[in-house]
Amino acid sequence: MSLPSRLLGANPSIQVSTLLSGSLTTPSAKGAFVSTAYESIASTTVGSGGSANVEFTSIPADYTHLQVRMIVRTNEANTQQNFSLQINSDTGNNYSWHRIYGSGSAAAADATSSTSFIMLDRTAGNNATASIFGAVVLDILDYKNTNKYKTTRMLGGVDLNASGGYMMFSSGLWQSTSAITSLKIFPSTGNWVQYSQFALYGIKGA
């Protein structure tokens, strides 16, 4: 089973299209299946020219939390490439992040404070096997709460075939009490390539 399949869960029949469609269901207390509290806000697929970043703007304040689901690859000339998040066009040193990651044979961790972005994950770069994309789920908690700083959590991974692969978990902090109205997601260098997909959801439940 590939790493993206494992990321999606134990059921290999759940496909990438389901990850992006928001059609997953959760069991109720009685065991029946009901629709989730996820609602689609916006989605985009990168075109043939690539894109330096993807932005979601004018995010409505109708939800409790946000989630972004991504299937991504960059054209940066490495096998793998980091990518990051900025909030509300804030480019100041108002972010911190922590992450742990493993390749199946080794594990490591790193962290940074007072920086200008939240580091999210690694994904395939231009030197990775053709058509390999990383899969990522990013949660942004209490995004409209003006009484607290904003926190994020991310689970993602990429299978690089002969070059190995990574599974990664990270957390982030934006030191602002402002409600979140926009998100910018970008690779450290280079561009997102064609067919990279991003979908933004609102979560109404607690």
What is the enclosing helix (H) or strand (E) of 18?
Answer: helix 16-21
Indicate if the pLDDT at residue 190 is higher than 50. Answer: yes
Over residues 96-105, the mean pLDDT reads 86
Over residues 96-125, the mean pLDDT reads 88
Instruction: Give the span between the Cα atoms of 28 and 183, in whole angstroms.
Output: 32
Q: Is residue 101 part of a domain?
A: yes
Instruction: Give the span between the Cα atoms of 149 and 159, in whole angstroms.
Output: 34
Single out the residue of 195, 181, 193 nearest to residue 41, CA to CA: 181
Name the DSSP class of 154. Answer: E
Q: Is residue 11 part of a domain?
A: no
Q: Is residue 50 part of a domain?
A: yes
Q: What is the secondary structure of 99-115 as a DSSP string?
A: EEEE-SS-EEEEEEEEE
Range of the domain at 137: 38-203
Q: Are residues 94 and 174 in contact, defined by beta-carbon separation less than 8 angstroms? A: yes
What's the domain count of the chain?
A: 1
Which pLDDT value is given to residue 14?
Answer: 34
Q: Is residue 192 part of a domain?
A: yes
Which pLDDT value is given to residue 206?
Answer: 64
Q: Is residue 135 part of a domain?
A: yes
Q: Are residues 95 and 174 in contact, defined by beta-carbon separation less than 8 angstroms? A: yes
pTM of the entire structure? 0.79
Instruction: Give the span between the Cα atoms of 65 and 143, in whole angstroms.
Output: 6
Cα–Cα separations (whole angstroms), residue 170 to 25, 96, 155: 25, 11, 7
Domain with 157 in it: what CATH number?
2.60.120
Neighbours of 147 (CB within 10 A): 6
Q: Is residue 1 part of a domain?
A: no
Q: Is residue 81 part of a domain?
A: yes
pLDDT, tens digit (0-9, with 9 covering 90-100), for 129-186: 888 898 999 999 999 999 999 999 999 988 877 667 778 899 999 999 999 999 999 9
Indicate if the pLDDT at residue 36 is higher than 70. Answer: no
Token pair for residue 152?
A: 């994020």
Q: Is residue 29 part of a domain?
A: no
